[in-house]
A and B are shown apart, each in its own frame.
Chain A
Amino acid sequence: MRVYIARRLLLTVPTILGTSLLVFLILHLVPGDPASVIAGPTAPADVVANIRTQLGLDQPILVQYWRYLSSALHGDLGRSILSRRQVSDEVAGAFLNTLELVIAARVWSLLIGIPIGVLAAARRRSIFDKLSMVTALLGLSLPIFWIGLMAMWLFAVKLGWLPISGRGGPIWTGAGLLHLVLPALTLGGVQVPALARLTRSSLLEALSQDYVRTARAKGLAERLVVAKHALKNAMLPVVTVIGLQFAGLLGGAVVTETIFSWPGLGRLAVTAILTRDFPIVQGTILVSAVTFVTINLLTDFLYAVLDPRIKYT
């Protein structure tokens, strides 16, 4: 087992390196010049060239990548071309903000989605089941930007219950929590239908397995059957999907972050890509890759814990 984990960890390195190189190449081979953004519309050509040299952008690509890599391995991810701040500071800050949002969204979607799925499966073909699944299907199909705008318009503007936008501060403050509600609701809301459906179908599959029938035949209470045996196994695919979705959420939070002015990683990455702020893009992709890989590992680990049948070669 330990060998397996060690090997997996080792294998993540080429993945992350590969991702970083790929992004670097894409960005630099793409037309776009942050030096001219800094210089502004009326700067003469020599001034723009001056800035470009100062930023080291006139070196050949591989030289630039090498410089980047060697500093990165020393913990220096460089400075943002436009904001001049340390990439590590900017990205770390944005990442934590997005993490806040994503975890809040995740928590509430799990709290709502899984119970609905469980109940729907337990009361298969009932009105509840049909209604919740139909609602889930409808919810899955609505575009997230419209949900966000409508939620803001209804709860913040018309009803005035919640702040309209922005991050209000650390999550342990009242203001911080209040500002988190709408964006988390929007982002999480989009997850609820999928989770509910997945929980339901996976639970149904588990319930039809042999060992469940055996448990039922033995005369165990239905609730116990569901809870102890079926649920545990049903959670496996759910756990996998939650893991997979997490990394996706980092980028998927882009729309939510834009609408609610949440200073998160998604918004940072988009702005950086559009302004060709290479160091920031590298930083955000790095964080994203590491997160994805970590979550993958954790998911697999959890999988192994939940299902002792799985062996690792």
Chain B
Amino acid sequence: MAVTAESPAARPHSDAWGRLRRDGASMAGAACLAALVLIAIFAPLVAPQDPIRVAMRERLQTPSRAHWLGTDQFGRDILSRIVYGTRVSLTVGLIAVGIGLGLGATLGLVAGFSRRLDYPIIAVMDVLLSFPQILLAIAIVAALGPGIFNAMIAVGIGAVPGFTRITRSSTLSIRERDYVEAARALGATSGRIIRRHVLPNAAAPLIVISTLSMAGAILAAAILSFLGLGARPPMAEWGAMAAEGRGLIAQYPHVATFPSLAIFVVVLAFNLLGDGLRDALDPQLED
């Protein structure tokens, strides 16, 4: 769906902030994320225990005073592992989306502006899109070797086509506008046009997509870890924790459930914020 944006940028954003602030759900999501960021940064202070300390005598305990969320099959404190896992998940989201955004938006701009490069870029994006994203991620991880960093790259590359398309269509629609023609006639360079007109207008959908993609990236990385292709032990990553606990759900469901709930909370927070941003930046904007 096309972006119904208008000329020069300042106006939608000041309205947007106001709209966003009034949206309770998004604010809740934002607050939650802020809290998670703080938890991630101050993890060593927040976590009650060492997340990788093995204590076999204490393993598979249900939530108790000593261990608020219980222990896993190595006696490690689940709460502490979830706290440290926040770091991993947020980093995954940032880097994966960073790659997607950086690479994707750049390619999208180029495709939108250069008629010569447009077709090859779109062709490559089509090829990438014809892989199911999970399989692409698995193939990349298989190529690079398992590990959370490679999983981030894999998920990031998978996100590129989406960003490329959005940026390209934004660019294309802006390029046709009268004021851009006028600016060109007056001698403005492409670079200036990009900075003053394209980017501010592409910003809105890009912000929304980035936020929502964070949720998707965290989920994708969790799934990769669940399949055994992401974080390596003893790293505390939520998907890997759920994977380690999945054989135990008959008797000790808490081992897999708490990390799954953590994933749920983060993804929900990003979704709430993303939704709110979308509504705020343009009430009629849709995906």
Do any beta carbons of A and B sit within 8 angstroms of each other in the complex?
A: yes
Question: Residues of A with Cβ closer than 8 Å to B?
Answer: 14-16, 18-19, 22-23, 26-27, 29-30, 32, 137-138, 140-146, 149-150, 153, 157, 198, 201-202, 205, 208, 237, 241, 247-252, 254-255, 258, 266, 269-270, 273-274, 281, 284-285, 288-289, 292-293
Cβ-defined contact, B267 with A205, below 8 A = no
Contacts of B275 in A (CB 8 A): 137
Bound: A139/B271 CA distance, A = 11
Cβ-defined contact, B139 with A26, below 8 A = yes
Given A145-B223, A266-B134, A30 contacting B142 (CB threshold 8 A): yes
Q: How far is the CB of B84 from chain A (nearest CB, A)?
A: 19
Does B246 touch A at the CB level, under 8 Å?
yes
Max chain A CB contacts within 10 Å: which of B130, B134, B267?
B130
Contacts of A248 in B (CB 8 A): 132-133
Q: How far is the CB of B228 from chain A (nearest CB, A)?
A: 9
Q: Select one of A141, A153, A255 contacting B267, CB under 8 A.
A: A141
Q: How far is the CB of B88 from chain A (nearest CB, A)?
A: 15
Bound: A19/B136 CA distance, A = 11
Cβ-defined contact, A145 with B139, below 8 A = no
Bound: A19/B125 CA distance, A = 10
Contacts of A255 in B (CB 8 A): 223, 226-227
Contacts of B1 in A (CB 8 A): 237
Given A141-B268, A142-B260, A149-B256, A251 contacting B134 (CB threshold 8 A): yes
Contacts of B215 in A (CB 8 A): 141
Does B74 touch A at the CB level, under 8 Å?
no
Given A254-B227, A273-B138, A146 contacting B260 (CB threshold 8 A): yes
Closest A residue by C-beta to B260 = A146
Question: Residues of B with Cβ closer than 8 Å to A?
Answer: 1, 123-124, 126-127, 129-136, 138-140, 142-143, 215, 219, 222-223, 226-227, 239, 242-243, 246, 249-250, 253, 256-257, 260, 263-265, 267-268, 271-272, 275, 284, 286-287
Cβ-defined contact, B139 with A19, below 8 A = no
Contacts of A144 in B (CB 8 A): 223
Q: How far is the CB of B252 from chain A (nearest CB, A)?
A: 12
Given A137-B271, A237-B286, A269 contacting B257 (CB threshold 8 A): no
Contacts of B264 in A (CB 8 A): 138, 141-143, 146
Contacts of B239 in A (CB 8 A): 143
Bound: A241/B1 CA distance, A = 11
Bound: A117/B143 CA distance, A = 42
Q: Select one of B123, B134, B222 contacting A254, CB under 8 A.
A: B134
Contacts of B271 in A (CB 8 A): 137, 140-141
Q: How far is the CB of B249 from chain A (nearest CB, A)?
A: 5
> Could you list some 18 contacts between A and B, CB below 8 A?
A16-B130, A18-B123, A27-B139, A137-B268, A141-B267, A141-B271, A143-B226, A143-B267, A149-B246, A153-B249, A205-B284, A237-B1, A247-B129, A252-B134, A254-B134, A266-B135, A288-B132, A288-B135
Q: Select one of B142, B227, B263, B272 contacting A143, CB under 8 A.
A: B263
Bound: A258/B257 CA distance, A = 18
Contacts of A254 in B (CB 8 A): 134-135, 227
Closest B residue by C-beta to A145 = B226
Contacts of B131 in A (CB 8 A): 19, 23, 251, 285, 288-289
Bound: A213/B129 CA distance, A = 38
Contacts of A16 in B (CB 8 A): 130
Contacts of B227 in A (CB 8 A): 254-255, 258, 270
Contacts of B226 in A (CB 8 A): 143, 145, 255
Cβ-defined contact, B286 with A202, below 8 A = yes
Cβ-defined contact, A15 with B139, below 8 A = no
Q: How far is the CB of B210 from chain A (nearest CB, A)?
A: 17
Contacts of A285 in B (CB 8 A): 131, 135
Closest A residue by C-beta to B215 = A141
Bound: A26/B141 CA distance, A = 11
Bound: A289/B128 CA distance, A = 9
Kindly list 14 other residue pairs between chains A and B, CB separation below 8 angstroms, not including A141-B215, A288-B130: A26-B140, A30-B142, A137-B272, A153-B249, A201-B286, A248-B132, A251-B136, A252-B133, A252-B134, A255-B223, A258-B227, A273-B138, A274-B138, A288-B131
Contacts of B143 in A (CB 8 A): 26, 29-30
Given A26-B139, A143-B242, A205 contacting B286 (CB threshold 8 A): yes
Contacts of A143 in B (CB 8 A): 219, 222-223, 226, 239, 242, 260, 263-264, 267
Cβ-defined contact, B268 with A138, below 8 A = yes
Q: Select one of A22, A150, A157 contacting B127, CB under 8 A.
A: A22
